[in-house]
Structure 1
Amino acid sequence: MADKLKKSVIYLYGLPSFGFQIFIYVELMFFSAFLTDAVKMPVALAGSVLMITSIFDLIWVPVAGIILQKSNLKWGKFRSWLLIGPPVAAVLYVVQFLKIGDPMTNAITACAGFIVGHLVFDVYYSAHIAMNSALTDRVDERVKMSANRGIFNALGSLTFSYVGVRAIQEISKALNDPALGYTTVVIMVALFMVLCYWIFFFLTKEYAFRGTVPVTQKKESMSVPEILQELFHNPPLIGLLLIDLGRYVGKFVVLGLAFYYFKYVLNDLPGMAIFMTGLTVVMLVSATLATTVSKIFGPRKAYVGALCIFIAGLLITWLVPMSATAFKIVMLVSFIGYGLPDALVVAMYATCVDYGEWRTGKNVRGFIMALLTTPIKVGNFIKSVIITTALASASYVADMTPTPELIQAIKNGFCLYPALVMIFGLVVFVILSRKLKDMENDLAAKKASAEN
């Protein structure tokens, strides 16, 4: 892999992520609302749909990694999925947001579209992530692509916040049918997502088999147990999964408890809209700065330092009484600690792929890169536990008077609990990532020996 990648490949590496963010945000923000308000599904039935789909969403992570690792299609091991996965997922996504028959029938179709669709999502999403390390072994190119993905992620979130939400409202009103409004928007974002993936597919034609074995040659063959064992031979990967889990718990809890914090702690519910927009802008700016910061400090130190900012912001907010304005400033600054690592994380998983191959001689790039979604899904589950625990500890009921117990419970859930999860992940990562030094020293020694 001596030749440098084309600039178009490096700078448009994040394009599929842009399309995916706009695509998936309909589900993240409106799936439950579609079930209860558009389809008029009973709350208990809608809750069952959400629970069943969440369970499968967790199960599919290792399954998708194994599928990606063991597949080897004609257009490139990872690149092929960018062509065939998105259109299949698009159809299933429409099924998920389609009003058909009575509520029970709709529950079945929504579950089917979600369950099968998310398995497909996980495979092609992970294939795109895996291409970061497959396309190049240059650290600077990996970091640039990872940072550009972070920028496109933030742009996708921002675009949907301004365009997607309004589109659902306006189209539903124009059609005088909320369910059909959701379905129409889903079709539009699904087509746009497919286009983004296909553009990058064609951009990478000449790099189709970089870092992999062409389909015409002998296939990379490992059994499922061998693939799973690679996780336990890779301490830096375990550390990265845990530190990343803490980061996502921090983000999801902040987003999930923001309503309660602004309403009961700050008494400034209108300020929540400005705050949420500010978070997206901060993440965009952080992603833009990621390449420069990584060049100065290195990806691992930049990640750890940024997460310390996030933790410090949460602990300061927990300890110090603040006005609404001071709270917004502290939290927006602290969210640099989420946004900057988000732009570097793909490059760091790529390093774990290198470490695994260096230690065992086996390349399980597809499986390892698919694990990137594990902290997201586990973090979302832990978020639900934290929010439920915090509110239940103060016997919360809607529109209750903000008692000292409620205010402290919300602050604990918003600040203290996620900070503790992040501190644990940070400590474990710092300890386990030291193993990377062995690989770096060995490769440096081999390079020096070759030059002499």
Structure 2
Amino acid sequence: MADKSTPAITPKPLSFRLKFFYGIGDCGFSLMTNIETFYFQFFLTNIAVFTTEVLWIVTTVVSVVDAALSWIYGGILNIIKPRKIGRYRPYLVMIPWVVPILFAFQFIKISENVGLSAFIIAAAGILSHVIWNLPYAANMAMMSIAGQTSQGKAVLSSSRATWNNISSILFSYAGLPLITLLSSLPFLGSEVVVKDVTYRSGAFGAVAFILGIVMALTYWVHYIITKGYEEPEDTSKPKESRTKASFGSMAKALFTNSHLMFLIVADLAKWIVKFVVAGSAIYYWTYVAGNAGIQATYILASSICAVVGAYSARFFTKLFSNKMAIIYAYALMAAAMIIAYFIYNQFWVVLVLMCIGQFGYGICYAVAPALYADAAVYADWKTGKANVGWIMGLQTLPLKVGVILKAVVIAAVLTAINFSKDMVVTEATKQGLTASFALIPALFLVLGLILLLFGFRLTKDKIEKYQAEIDARK
């Protein structure tokens, strides 16, 4: 029982700015990373003109190292000494400015020496990811801290998801159209022609740099609007009197939390849809549909559907539970994408079906962080240690594994069809490219649905009970 002399903790209400503008940082972040998501493989095969073997090496090294480190960022933020203005907020403004120049070199072939160019591209990819993952983890932790209540977290999660998917709408103009526009500038390198479309070799790197600056500016906005929601920690207290996390407590928070482990694996399906579908899209529209120009239309239409899905998530979670909203979305996405695979030559029908899939993705993106926040409450209740940053940061783990699988799936498909940028396209080629665009992601969705249905068993009533007991300890 809580000490009666201690006043009840009243959650600070969400400000107008947080309700409607929390997520603008995620918009900037996704706007930047979308150039990698949609065009990294395309850059390597068609602009840098690397072989599929080099493609395998570069994409696998970058994604595997990135994934191997993904679990540590939230832990680092939890363990290191907090700054005067808080533990997490400072990282939203201190670090992002380093990213743009590093990220640009991930899209620049500096030499005709394949080994040297591949090494620099891979190194730039690894370093830029390491640096941007710290503010990303801090941003996720701030959502849980500012939200405080289940409803508050749901509102912030939905707002964040809406802004995140707005980034894809913006990218339909700031992606390939901007690359094409900058390709008219002679100082951005030599010309490369792909299916009658002319690109400058340096245009991709220039866009990566510009979008990196946008990311840093939008994270700065998050730093401003979250002011007052993270209380500075009293570091003068003895260590034993504080609930500071340790490596031991963080490991316990994960490995004694079956709900969290099932959630992490099931959440992978969402990221497969995000990354594998996005990375395969340019190949589908260029070689299966025979019209790369549809790519911009597809990105715009699918992004609008994702925004609608993200915004409508708040209504679906009232109608169903958070868990069931994701399960129904997974089922809808899988059905649409399986149908798309079997009618791969019906390009406009495929576009509509893939947009339905992105509507479901928007719902999942909006709701999933609330499930991680519930898992963090359960871990706090069970272990007695606050591991919010660690657990919310674990969302990057399935994300990074999704990036690895994107590299593996797309490279495997391109190898299987003997891809070259000027190849003769057969029906087998079309079906193979559509497999990575639609069928393979759909199979992951089916698996994720099953795992989430039977593995994640936390309910709203249980979370409210756990949170009340945690508050009583304070």
Worse-superposed segment, 233-242 or 126-135: 233-242
Question: Which residue does the alignment assign to 1:113?
Answer: 124
Supply the distance in 1 between the matched residues of 2:54 and 2:441 (Cα, whole angstroms): 30
Q: Deviations over 1:94-129 (max 9, x none)?
A: 555567677465555444433232112111101101
Question: Which residue does the alignment assign to 1:73?
Answer: 83
Worse-superposed segment, 125-134 or 229-238: 229-238
Question: Which residue does the alignment assign to 2:230?
Answer: 208
Supply the distance in 2 between the matched residues of 1:321 and 1:184 (Cα, whole angstroms): 34
Worse-superposed segment, 394-403 or 368-377: 394-403
Worse-superposed segment, 386-395 or 293-302: 386-395
Residue 133 of structure 1: CA displacement?
A: 0.9
Question: Which residue does the alignment assign to 1:174?
Answer: 185
Supply the distance in 2 between the matched residues of 1:319 and 1:43 (Cα, whole angstroms): 26
Question: Which residue does the alignment assign to 1:352?
Answer: 375
1:316–1:183 distance in 2 versus 1, CA, 3 Å = closer
1:159–1:412 distance in 2 versus 1, CA, 3 Å = closer
Question: Which residue does the alignment assign to 1:84?
Answer: 94
Question: Which residue does the alignment assign to 1:12?
Answer: 21
Worse-superposed segment, 261-270 or 302-311: 261-270
Question: Which residue does the alignment assign to 1:162?
Answer: 173
* Secondary structure in structure 1 of the residue aligned to 2:394: helix
Q: Deviations over 1:133-170 (max 9, x none)?
A: 11132222211111111111112122122024333333
* Secondary structure in structure 1 of the residue aligned to 2:14: coil
User: Equivalent of 2:217, from 195, 207, 210?
Assistant: 195
Supply the distance in 2 between the matched residues of 1:66 and 1:164 (Cα, whole angstroms): 34
TM-score between the two structures when normalised by the length of structure 1: 0.84
Supply the distance in 2 between the matched residues of 1:302 and 1:117 (Cα, whole angstroms): 34
Q: Deviations over 1:425-451 (max 9, x none)?
A: 21121212124468347459979x9xx
Worse-superposed segment, 68-77 or 391-400: 391-400
Q: Deviations over 1:16-69 (max 9, x none)?
A: 111112222333344456667777878866664433322211112012232122
1:197–1:414 distance in 2 versus 1, CA, 3 Å = closer
Supply the distance in 2 between the matched residues of 1:260 and 1:31 (Cα, whole angstroms): 12
1:402 aligns with 2:421: no
1:315 aligns with 2:338: yes
1:196–1:239 distance in 2 versus 1, CA, 3 Å = same
Contact 1:310-1:338 within 8 A present in 2 as well: yes
Superposition pairs for residues 249-288 of structure 1, below 5 Å? 249-258=272-281, 261=284, 271-288=294-311
Supply the distance in 1 between the matched residues of 2:356 and 2:161 (Cα, whole angstroms): 17
1:314–1:46 distance in 2 versus 1, CA, 3 Å = closer
1:235–1:438 distance in 2 versus 1, CA, 3 Å = farther
Supply the distance in 1 between the matched residues of 2:207 and 2:436 (Cα, whole angstroms): 34
1:127 aligns with 2:138: yes
* Secondary structure in structure 1 of the residue aligned to 2:87: coil
Supply the distance in 1 between the matched residues of 2:327 and 2:350 (Cα, whole angstroms): 23
**1:202 alignment partner AA:** I
Residue 207 of structure 1: CA displacement?
A: 1.4
Residue 372 of structure 1: CA displacement?
A: 0.9
1:406–1:446 distance in 2 versus 1, CA, 3 Å = same
1:384–1:196 distance in 2 versus 1, CA, 3 Å = closer
Supply the distance in 1 between the matched residues of 2:105 and 2:339 (Cα, whole angstroms): 45
Supply the distance in 1 between the matched residues of 2:341 and 2:398 (Cα, whole angstroms): 24
Residue 273 of structure 1: CA displacement?
A: 4.3
Question: Which residue does the alignment assign to 2:397?
Answer: 374
Residue 364 of structure 1: CA displacement?
A: 1.2
Superposition pairs for residues 296-445 of structure 1, below 5 Å? 296-318=319-341, 323-388=346-411, 399-400=423-424, 402-403=426-427, 409=432, 412-436=435-459, 439-440=462-463, 442-443=465-466
Residue 410 of structure 1: CA displacement?
A: 5.1
Supply the distance in 2 between the matched residues of 1:233 and 1:156 (Cα, whole angstroms): 36
**Which is richer in helix?**
1
**1:25 alignment partner AA:** N
Question: Which residue does the alignment assign to 2:192?
Answer: none
Supply the distance in 2 between the matched residues of 1:389 and 1:366 (Cα, whole angstroms): 35
Question: Which residue does the alignment assign to 1:229?
Answer: 252
RMSD between aligned residues? 3.5
Contact 2:243-2:385 within 8 A present in 1 as well: no
Contact 2:31-2:215 within 8 A present in 1 as well: yes
Supply the distance in 2 between the matched residues of 1:10 and 1:176 (Cα, whole angstroms): 44
Contact 1:9-1:204 within 8 A present in 2 as well: yes
1:7–1:215 distance in 2 versus 1, CA, 3 Å = farther
Residue 341 of structure 1: CA displacement?
A: 0.9
Contact 1:150-1:343 within 8 A present in 2 as well: yes
Contact 1:246-1:422 within 8 A present in 2 as well: yes
% identical aligned pairs: 27
Q: Deviations over 1:197-224 (max 9, x none)?
A: 1122122221122xx7344555644432
1:13–1:383 distance in 2 versus 1, CA, 3 Å = same
Q: Report how many aligned residue pairs link the two structures.
A: 445
1:48–1:339 distance in 2 versus 1, CA, 3 Å = same
